[in-house]
DNA sequence: CGCAGCAGATTACATGTGTAATCGAAGGGG
DNA sequence: CCCCTTCGATTACACATGTAATCTGCTGCG
């Protein structure tokens, strides 16, 4: 599975949210603050097709695009990559880090505790 | 703080481990499997200097390099970036994801629970 | 005192990425 | 039936990245 660049990821998000879509529809749904032209979106779509991250079917003389990889798989790969690089592949140090970096509120902690408890049973 | 590329990060790791070091010393410590020439390491060092991620002091006619940013800060930024992109900035979904992706062993879970308990007090 | 060798600086070059503009075909409106 | 619009395809172009090789200036060895 080829690497998806950050700008490309924006397009993937759109299509994971709703698919299939035409290029124009994707363009409409790209977050406004990106300020992308339709042309840019089309470039992203082609590159993602080439990378095998999207598939397309013809609808008249347009394409309908849809994801060819699952969001979970992509997220798993990316977060795994980060954990491997920064935390030697271990998850506990990541959580410890998040905690000490104040990314964890008391509510977070309680949610996670509940989650873990559920996991054990 | 400018973005540090993946290859550059390898050099940062070396210097976070031990500093200050000369270019040659850094080169020796770069993981063998990278197969980098000394020239490549020197390029990384210059780029990191330019980005302000390293500082250097002269020692004779060589430089001694040392990190100018803390590993903690870099890791915080990168993991924050991932969490924002993939989990809408919320940590709990990340942990949930890790759990469902089988990145959490029973021991992990117990370690994290202990960690969280300590955090609350 | 001259030169081999090492330091950093400069240059190289292919590929990836961000952000389009342009081109050629096709189809719909008048 | 012809032209304007709209598609996807092709081309553009600057900057980043990965991976070096070359250049230039000192410096210590002989």
Per residue of chain B (121 residues), give pLDDT as tens. Answer: 899 999 999 999 999 999 999 999 999 999 999 999 999 999 999 999 999 999 999 999 999 999 999 999 999 999 999 999 999 999 999 999 999 988 898 999 999 999 999 988 7
* 3-state class (DSSP) for residue A63: strand
Q: Which nucleotides of D are covered by protein (CB under 7 A)?
A: 6-12, 16-22, 25-28
Per-residue tokens: B27: 């080169």
Q: Which of residues 56-75 of B touch A (CB under 8 A)?
A: 72, 75
Helix (H, G, I), strand (E, B) or coil at A21: strand
Q: Which residue has the tokens 């770069």?
A: B30
Contacts of B14 in chain A (CB under 8 A): none
Helix (H, G, I), strand (E, B) or coil at B46: helix
Interchain CB contacts (distance < 8 Å): A and B? 88
Q: With CA atoms as reference, report the closest residue to B18 among B7, B29, B4, B9.
A: B29
| Residue at the smallest CA–C1' distance to nucleotide D25 | B61
- What's the rounded mean pLDDT across residues A24-37? 97
User: A84: exposed, middle or buried (C-beta count within 10 Å: 0-12, 13-18, 19+)?
Assistant: exposed
Q: Quick one: pLDDT at residue A97?
A: 94
């Amino acid at each position: 599975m080829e690497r998806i660049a950050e700008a490309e990821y924006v397009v993937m998000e759109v299509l994971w949210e709703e698919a299939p879509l035409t290029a124009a529809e994707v363009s409409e749904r790209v977050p406004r603050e990106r300020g992308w032209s339709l042309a840019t979106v089309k470039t992203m779509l082609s590159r993602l097709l080439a990378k095998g991250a999207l598939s397309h079917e013809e609808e008249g003389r347009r394409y309908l695009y849809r994801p060819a990889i699952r969001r979970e798989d992509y997220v798993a790969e990316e977060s795994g990559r980060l954990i491997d690089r920064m935390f030697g592949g271990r998850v506990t140090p990541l959580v410890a880090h998040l905690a000490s970096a104040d990314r964890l509120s008391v509510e977070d902690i309680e949610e996670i505790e509940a989650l873990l408890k559920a996991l054990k049973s």
